Amino acid sequence: MREIFITGTGIISPQDTLNSSSFLENIQEYSSNAIYCMEPEYKNYIPVRDLRRMSRILKMSNVAAQVALQDAELERPDAINVATGLGCLADTEKFLLNLIENDETLLNPTAFINSTHNTIAGQLALMLQVSHQNFTFAHNELTFEHALLDSLLLLKNGVYHHVLTGGVDEITENTNTIIRNLGFLKNDNISNLELLNSPGNGSIQGEGAAYFVLSDKTSSDNYSRIGDVSFFYNNIKKDTIVEEIIAFLRKNRLKIHDIDLVISGYNGDDTYDSVYRELGSGLFRETAQAYYKHLCGEYFTSASFALWLGVSILKEQIIPGAVLLNRRRSKNIKKILLHNIGFYRNHSLILLER
């Protein structure tokens, strides 16, 4: 079986993660249930004439993709897979609003064109002149992991050598109001760093654009290998989570003590956090544990932040204090397990190796 490596990353998030010289040392604290990205000076990356026509989500995506390619020292990937839970929301809202306010007349097509989910991936294909596969996955909260698995299969089949894979979602003011009113968010002025200390339901809304170059070879020993990506469904009548995780490890010829760090998708909502907590004090009690959604917020492709975190930890051999959940620290971090839970009791597992 071919080995698949992550040879480059680029990420725009609510933290200082793009081209940062420090690795999560200056943590941003927000007092809001919607935490927005720290956006770069776009004109340093994108020609001004193009900038005017690009929406915020396209700009974030474009820059993160550029940085990932630079990091991998790659000019052009063979294929592109993008994950986005809600696509180009701002343009979708804009067209919908115009449609309602103008009673379906005199509509400008630009927002409609840009509202399509695959505008993000299509725009990268145009910019980079990538004429091979250009897929967009839009499957709610585990959508990034689905794009990642497809990229893995593309590379394992040997047809492609480099696949650019990203997770992109944006906050808009209206969606924030909507999901707050639906009860999916904590209080308006919660501190993101207190996410796990605020009991009850709801999380904080986040956003981000994270890209990864996945390659079937690497010249650097600094970067991670993706061991496996897998999904399971937990029937509430028969709790099989522990069995499923052990089965996943066994399939990869590993035991629980081989895992140096588990990164879990704690998001402040008891429905999910109670499951992570039970694993943390049970199956993973001897394992170092980390969390991340207090840094990037909860959004449909937030698992892409977790992948960046895992890759960076393997590269730097440091677990930043801001993500560490327990006192266990491994000296030599070789294997990381990422665990994320979506609605409908679907779970994702990603194995990362140095």
Partner 1 sequence: MSDKIYITGVGIISSIGKNVDENYFSLLRGKSGIGKIDLLSTVHKNEFVAGEIKYTNPELERLTEIPFNSPDSRTALLGIIAAKQALSNAGLNNPVDGKTGLISATTVGGMDRSELFYHHYLKSEKLTNAIGHPCGDSTNMIAKATGITGYSTTVSTACSSSANAIITGARLISNKILDSVVVGGTDALSKFTLNGFNSLMILDRDICKPFDNNRKGLNLGEGAAYLVLESEQSLSRRNMEPLCELSGYANRNDVYHQTASSPDGRGAFAAMSEALQKFGLKTSDINYINAHGTGTENNDLSEGIAIERLFGKKIIFSSTKAFTGHTLGAAGAIEAAFSVLTIQHGFIPPNLNFHEKMEDLNIVPQSELISNIKISRVLSNSFGFGGNNSSLIFSKV
B/e letters for 230-268, b = 16+ CB within 10 Å, e = fewer, are bbbebeeeeeebeebbeebbeebebebeebbbbbbbbbb
Contact 215, 4 (CB under 8 A): yes
Residue bearing tokens 């089949």? 157
Residue 328 is a binding residue for partner 1 (CB under 8 A)? no
**120 Cβ contact partners less than 8 Å away, ≥ 6 residues apart:** 57, 58, 61, 82, 84, 87, 88, 136, 166, 168
Q: Which of 116, 252, 326, 330 binds partner 1 (CB under 8 A)?
A: 116
Q: Which of 28, 66, 122, 194 binds partner 1 (CB under 8 A)?
A: 122
CA-based angle 29:34:39, to the nearest 5?
A: 70
Stretch that binds partner 1, among 42-50, 127-135, 246-254, 258-266 (CB under 8 A): 127-135
Minimum CB separation from partner 1 for residue 168, in Å? Answer: 13
**312 Cβ contact partners less than 8 Å away, ≥ 6 residues apart:** 9, 23, 24
Residue 108 is a binding residue for partner 1 (CB under 8 A)? yes
Q: Which is nearer to partner 1, 93 or 258 (CB)?
A: 93
Residue 76 is a binding residue for partner 1 (CB under 8 A)? no
Q: Which of 73, 233, 274, 318 binds partner 1 (CB under 8 A)?
A: 233
Residue 340 is a binding residue for partner 1 (CB under 8 A)? no
Residue 250 is a binding residue for partner 1 (CB under 8 A)? no
Residue bearing tokens 């650097």? 220
Q: Which of 5, 135, 160, 212 binds partner 1 (CB under 8 A)?
A: 135
Residue 21 is a binding residue for partner 1 (CB under 8 A)? no
Residue 173, Cβ neighbours under 10 Å: how many? 10
Q: Which residues pair with 211 in a beta bridge?
A: 10, 166
Residue 52 is a binding residue for partner 1 (CB under 8 A)? no
The DSSP bridge pattern shows strands 225-233 and 346-353 to be antiparallel
Residue 14 is a binding residue for partner 1 (CB under 8 A)? no
Residues that bind partner 1 (CB under 8 A): 85-87, 93, 95-97, 99-100, 103-105, 107-109, 112-113, 115-119, 121-123, 125-126, 129-143, 146, 149-150, 153-154, 156-157, 159, 174, 177-178, 181-182, 231, 233, 235, 300, 343-344, 346
